[in-house]
């Protein structure tokens, strides 16, 4: 999925970096010390164990490779209970005024702010990213809830004056019970990004996290409940494909919002179509980053790092196809390799760490396979791309690798065509603007794109021709909650964040009011 550095915060995240100013904090968690034993499902106001006693699945801590908890998947009966609770909550919540809903959402944001460090630590333990990034994710979740709390009281229709004193008006009404299905790269943040606009519009939501990262979404459910939300308003059901299928086919579900892979997104779209349910799909990307010879080299290198190595490269909007104009390629490669080699890898709960563990052993092996495939196809490994062996004994079983820069890449290579979803940057050269635009757009995906240049005319001209939903000029992976995020082509349908998302969680009703007699033809 994607990294959200809040533009409101504007906190620099550069490599290498000094120890942050949080070292005075007393760490509540440490890698390898956390075991989660409480139920991870939540509906009707409390955590709940599955009643169907399906086979439990092991969930691992990426930093150590140790078992963190056991996941209890929800069956159809559990899903029914959660959806029924959400339906009851919707009946009450949808009748509140926008101001009343906003008060509860603002209180939830305040609770998140107070529990920032606790939530961030659990996100690290569950996902493997650095504590520095996890804090920013929690901040983004809070800001999103605050933003849509502010939008809740602004929902309004339109008045249309007609002849003879008659008129029409529109009402923007909630959909009902919405389903959110999250990805493993931003567990807490995605839960907030999906729930905040849904709740602001008067809907309720049943959320299914990724089974790889099930721990923090339930914390958000508890926070909403503590803030005063009616029981069932935001519920969490755990599980994999079967649980997701039960949710998508449930007759009382009005909408599905999914973040994840293109193949899974297609399946969800097909299932939702059986009930003609609207979907929001935020899917994969293989995004281009165009660096022209007139760029500010320092910022271009920083942008390339931000476009490839946030969250161990596990970000769907990453600009992993880095096109560099030929005459500055040697200088760019020298600097980007130097900066990449300086990235500190290690215990994600340490303040100095800038790259933690990949999310799972299977995913680590998949990313390393891509690097090996790139070498076979003629790419040059300029740095990284290998297993990383931490010096700390407790981290020996973790899923670490060194961030990789690939040179001598061509458009036909697997590493350039397929989404790797790991810390692997593929660098390509180009000569002309026309050429690089054609190559940049030569993909079935269109989530994001970026350009670095000092020529403002060129910047806007290039962005106009890039076939991507989220574009960046002289920066990358900056996504404030006030701005819509989403893709073109097979990267998805709909948008997250910004005012426009209100349209994806409401439906429009038109009302005609006759002030005179009926003019009948019969």
In CATH, the number for domain 288-350+357-492 is 3.40.309.10
- Spatial contact of 477 and 306, defined as CB atoms under 8 Å apart: yes
3-state helix vs strand vs coil in the chain, percent to 5: 40, 20, 40
Pair of tokens at residue 65: 């490779």
Query: How big is the CA angle at 75 (ends 71 and 78), to the nearest 5 degrees?
Result: 95
Catalytic residue among 61, 117, 282, 433: 282
Low-confidence ranges of the chain (pLDDT < 70): 1-27
Does the annotation mark 377 as catalytic? no
In CATH, the number for domain 41-283 is 3.40.605.10
- Spatial contact of 502 and 197, defined as CB atoms under 8 Å apart: yes
What residue segments make up the domains of the chain, in order of their start? 41-283, 288-350+357-492
pTM of the model as a whole: 0.94
At 15 the pLDDT is: 34
Residue 366, phi then psi, degrees to nearest 5? -65, -45
Taking only the tens place, the pLDDT of each residue in 449-458 is: 999 999 999 9
Nearest to 222 by CA among 48, 35, 77, 26: 48
At 26 the pLDDT is: 53
Helices 98-114 and 217-227: crossing angle in degrees, nearest 10, is 120
């Amino acid at each position: 999925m994607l990294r959200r550095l809040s533009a409101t915060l504007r906190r620099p995240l550069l490599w290498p970096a000094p120890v942050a100013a949080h070292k005075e904090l007393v760490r509540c968690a440490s890698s390898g010390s956390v075991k989660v034993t409480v139920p991870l499902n939540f509906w009707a106001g409390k955590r709940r164990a599955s009643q169907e006693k399906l086979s439990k699945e092991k969930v691992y801590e990426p930093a150590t490779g140790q078992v963190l908890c056991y996941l209890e998947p929800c069956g159809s009966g559990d899903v029914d209970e959660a959806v029924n609770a959400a339906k009851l909550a919707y009946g009450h919540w949808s009748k509140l005024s926008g101001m009343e809903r906003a008060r509860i959402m603002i209180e939830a944001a305040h609770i998140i702010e107070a529990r920032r460090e606790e939530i961030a630590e659990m996100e690290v333990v569950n996902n493997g990213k650095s504590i520095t990034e996890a804090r920013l994710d929690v901040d983004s979740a809070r800001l999103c809830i605050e933003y849509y709390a502010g939008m809740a009281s602004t929902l309004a229709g339109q008045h249309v004056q007609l002849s003879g004193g008659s008129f029409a008006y529109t009402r923007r009404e909630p959909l009902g019970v919405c389903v959110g299905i999250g990805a493993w790269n931003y567990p807490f943040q995605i839960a907030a990004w999906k729930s905040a606009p849904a709740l602001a519009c008067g809907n309720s939501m049943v959320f299914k996290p990724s089974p790889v990262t099930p721990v923090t979404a339930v914390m958000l459910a508890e926070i909403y409940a503590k803030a005063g939300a009616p029981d069932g308003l935001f519920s969490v059901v755990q599980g994999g494909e079967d649980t997701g299928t039960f949710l998508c086919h449930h007759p009382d579900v009005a909408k599905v919002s999914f973040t994840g892979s293109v193949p899974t997104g297609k399946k969800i779209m097909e299932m939702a179509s059986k009930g003609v349910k609207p979907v929001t799909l935020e899917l994969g990307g293989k995004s281009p980053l165009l660096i022209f010879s007139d760029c500010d080299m320092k910022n271009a290198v920083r942008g390339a790092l931000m476009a490839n190595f946030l969250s161990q490269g596990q970000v769907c909007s990453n600009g992993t196809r880095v096109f560099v104009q030929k005459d500055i390629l040697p200088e760019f490669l020298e600097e980007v390799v130097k900066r990449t080699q300086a990235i500190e890898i290690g215990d994600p709960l340490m303040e100095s760490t800038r790259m933690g563990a990949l999310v799972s052993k299977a995913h680590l092996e998949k990313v390393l396979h891509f690097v090996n495939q790139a070498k076979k196809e003629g790419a040059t490994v300029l740095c990284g791309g290998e297993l990383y062996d931490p010096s700390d004994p407790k981290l020996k079983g973790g899923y670490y690798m060194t961030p990789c820069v690939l040179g001598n890449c061509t458009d036909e290579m697997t590493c350039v065509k397929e989404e790797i979803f790991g810390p692997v940057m593929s660098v390509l050269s180009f000569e002309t603007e026309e050429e690089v635009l054609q190559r940049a757009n030569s993909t079935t995906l269109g989530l994001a794109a970026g350009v670095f240049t000092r020529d403002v005319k060129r910047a806007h001209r290039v962005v106009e021709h890039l076939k991507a939903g989220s574009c960046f000029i002289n920066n990358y992976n900056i996504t404030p909650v006030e701005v819509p995020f989403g893709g073109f082509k097979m990267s998805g349908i709909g948008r997250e964040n910004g005012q426009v998302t209100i349209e994806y969680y409401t439906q429009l009703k038109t009302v005609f009011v006759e002030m005179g007699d009926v003019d009948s033809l019969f």
